[in-house]
Amino acid sequence: MEATPLTAPSGRSYQPQTAKCISQGSYGTIYKCKAHEGTAPLPGFVALKVVSWDRPGLDEEIVLSERNVLDSITPHAGIVKLLDSWVDGDGHKLYMVFDWFERGDLHEYSKTHRIDEATQWHLHQQVLSVLEHIHSQGYAHVDVKPENLLVVDVNPLKVAFTDFGSARRIRELGNGPVRVHTACERSVPFTSTITDLYDALLRCP
């Protein structure tokens, strides 16, 4: 993407800090941006996620589902806040704006910082609390992993869930088995909410 400002229907504009993306996942690409209200810059930075349904395997319904989930779930301190969103004029890209967390995700953070047993216990309590909230809203995240937990603070360690691109309504998933992979790469059947708990306990530090 060119490092030129993007103007949203809200009137805010977002200036990528570089044409190179910060990260790229299965569903979207993330850019670090400076936000402006009119000509006035807003404090700090934001994360701009760009998702195109021109990519193989994606369609409009899949792409828009993440925004719909975030709009449906009651705000929570442990869930990244959707600040702005819009679909481009050609109708093939969704732009979503989130708070920017300079420390990145838990996966990258854990490479350079030791997470002791007490901190792990505190972290699991946080993650399970957020999952309880998500499930109470009728959704399963389905993709709980360190890469999808952004580091909000470090003293004590606080994280926020991101990437709801795989999230689904629990009633749509039903009580049938959802296939997940253990560390031994064996496929094990779990219901949707149990899959979230399994991932939280075994895939997170």
Tell which residue, 81, 94, 70, 69, has the closest CA to residue 9: 94
Token representation of residue 157:
């360690």
Any bridge partners for residue 188, and if so which? Answer: 180
Which residue has tokens 């449906």?
A: 72
N- to C-terminal Cα separation, the chain: 34
Q: Nearest 5°: CA angle at 27, between 195 and 115?
A: 55
Active site residue 143: yes
54, 59, 143, 199: which one is catalytic? 143
Pairing assessment for the beta strands 178-181 and 187-190 based on DSSP bridges: antiparallel
Q: In this structure, how many other beta carbons lie within 10 angstroms of the beta carbon of residue 168?
A: 17
Contact of 66 with 79, CB cutoff 8 Å = no
Q: What is the 3-state secondary structure (H, E, C) of 104-148?
A: CEHHHHHHHCCCCHHHHHHHHHHHHHHHHHHHHCCEECCCCCHHH
Residues annotated as catalytic (active site), given as ranges: 143
